[in-house]
Amino acid sequence: MSEANEKQFTFEDPAYRKTYWHTCSHVMAQAVKRLYPEVKLAIGPSIDEGFYYDLDSPVPFTPEMMEQIEAEMRKICKEKLKLERSEMPRHDAIKFMEEKGEPYKVELINDLPEDAVISFYKQGEFIDLCAGPHLDSTGRIKGNAIKLTACNAAYWRGDSNRQTLQRIYGIAFPKKEELDAYLERIEEAKRRDHRKLGKELGLFALMDEGPGFPFFLPKGMVLRNTLLDYWRQVHKKYGYVEISSPIILNQELWHRSGHWDHYKNNMYTTVIDGEDYAVKPMNCPGGMLVYKTEPHSYRDLPLRMAELGLVHRHELSGALHGLFRVRCFTQDDAHIFMTWDQMEAEIQNVVRLFDEVYSVFGLSYQIEVSTMPEDHIGEKETWDYATETLKKAIEHMGKEYVINEGDGAFYGPKLDFHLADSLGRTWQCGTIQLDMQMPERFDLEYVGEDGQKHRPVMIHRVVLGSIERFIGVIIEHFAGAFPTWLSPVQVKILTITQRADEYAKQVAATLEAQGFRVEVDLRNEKIGKKIREAQLEKDPFMLVVGDKEAESGQVAVRHRADGDLGVMSLEAFTAQLKELVDSRAAK
């Protein structure tokens, strides 16, 4: 049997995993209908992690009710009910669901295309409108490896003007050990929640006066600026120049770029001197205007322009989530202008930059090639050429990818980089987008080797994506215990006795003079308490100083993870600290 066949009916196969979870959603719906027959069924799909079912219940589902539903699901699994598929003509299907008192299913059937096949799946006494596929029996599901994880409000068909439903989420695995590991990972994720740690560590604040507009606090600004300093260094190394474009530009520009037609519902607008303007939701048009400020020759290309641009997007209040989904954020954009024969080399140059940056944070990645969406501009032949160029560029680097059909930008195909953090969760941060459309719309030109004017090709790319979101990602990735080079406070000096205060201040001044970030705790508290609090603040190094240290000119060194490192001279400690910071080590 081939390796592919061996994986076909395991969770290693995404299709099987989706089918397993989809069947679980039907088992959950059956359990709900057994226990609470008055509940009306809406929809119940599988999702990236697990499944859910939207339900119209006259009473809210309590934790006790969720436990009862879980128990009933386990019974259904033990019953080993066969899943049987059937089809009905539209009229019969509508009548059938009307008789069962399921108005949401009736609406779904009415909205299906005229030529749609209307199929149902039956298991025991339960039958549901569904296109499938499903497992052949409820006995395939391990009842002791099912967990209902949450119950939230959800609008019918995502429309806030429609009925409010209750959405029960669940997760299931073929083995209980896998469920236990998943639940532990979820608990660890809660402990690492960037909103919780951001508050505890004094990094940022979210306030009612500005929903979706984060406030960065002093320590958060140190973290942010250290990150951006590194960003600037690595971009200089890879041949980029930095620009800045205005936050507000006239509406005509956004019509010209095509963004108005595709993003106007997410844009903030204003009127200046009687003319319509928009707050930029992305940096691209500004980058093209900068390109047009002077003539260019083929000798200037590739021209790599990077921008840390503040953008604003009108996100719905229900979608806001800490730093992960905000209404204003700094996008680390770059726009690369090049000739057609430079495309593959430039894509590879960007990938090498990505490799360097992500490795510093200990983040691995997977690549998706996103192809032409239905809503696009430009000819299919151009899209096909650009898509093949993206594929060849990374294939020649020996990198693997998966295809994400129809998810390209409206102006071109793209490579999306999905980063894996320390808990195995993935985050889409980096992207490389090829664009042959915007240069045409903005009439961008360069003089070629033949003395004639030519149209450049563009790459849009981000490494970190939203700076705010990336900070949220690394807060959770490192659980707030940032590497020494990135930590807002690198050294906390703790005094045992007030007699050591002056020596502690001298040590701090020596370290600060060499560029290290230092805090001194001179409080008249027991040293054990000071150490515990410094541990909670996740500062990498603690220097404990008392009478002996002051007399000998040494320091007792502690590390937040490694504990007591012993007594050493300040010079020796400084040398170690400098090596960690200069190398951007993971410690």
Does the annotation count 157 as an active-site position?
no
Does the annotation count 224 as an active-site position?
no
Beta-sheet strand order (sheet of 275-279): 248-250, 275-279, 269-272
Q: Which of 17, 259, 327, 335 is catalytic?
A: 335
Residue 479, SS3 per DSSP: coil
Q: Tally DSSP H helices, then E strands, for the chain.
A: 19, 28
Bridge partners, 462 (sequence order): 333, 431
Does the annotation count 26 as an active-site position?
no
Q: Which of 304, 313, 325, 558 is catalytic?
A: 313
Does the annotation count 331 as an active-site position?
yes
Does the annotation count 284 as an active-site position?
yes
Bridge partners, 166 (sequence order): 55, 153
Cβ proximity of 233 and 226 under 8 Å: no
Bridge partners, 420 (sequence order): 364, 426
Cβ proximity of 351 and 399 under 8 Å: yes
In angstroms, the CA 206 to CA 325 distance is: 12
Does the annotation count 208 as an active-site position?
no
Does the annotation count 460 as an active-site position?
yes
Q: Which of 128, 332, 333, 539 is catalytic?
A: 333
Beta strands in 228-327 (DSSP E): 241-243, 248-250, 269-272, 275-279, 303-312
Pinpoint the alpha helices (H) of 277-412: 284-291, 343-360, 380-395
Q: Which of 284, 304, 312, 332 is catalytic?
A: 284
Q: Which of 167, 259, 414, 538 is catalytic?
A: 414
CB contact burial 490-515 (16+ within 10 A = b; e otherwise) = bbbbbbbeeebeebbeebbeebeeee
Q: Which of 166, 331, 342, 490 is catalytic?
A: 331
Q: Which of 460, 469, 477, 558 is catalytic?
A: 460
Cβ proximity of 334 and 302 under 8 Å: no
Cβ proximity of 370 and 414 under 8 Å: yes
> What is the set of active-site residues?
284, 313, 331, 333, 335, 414, 460
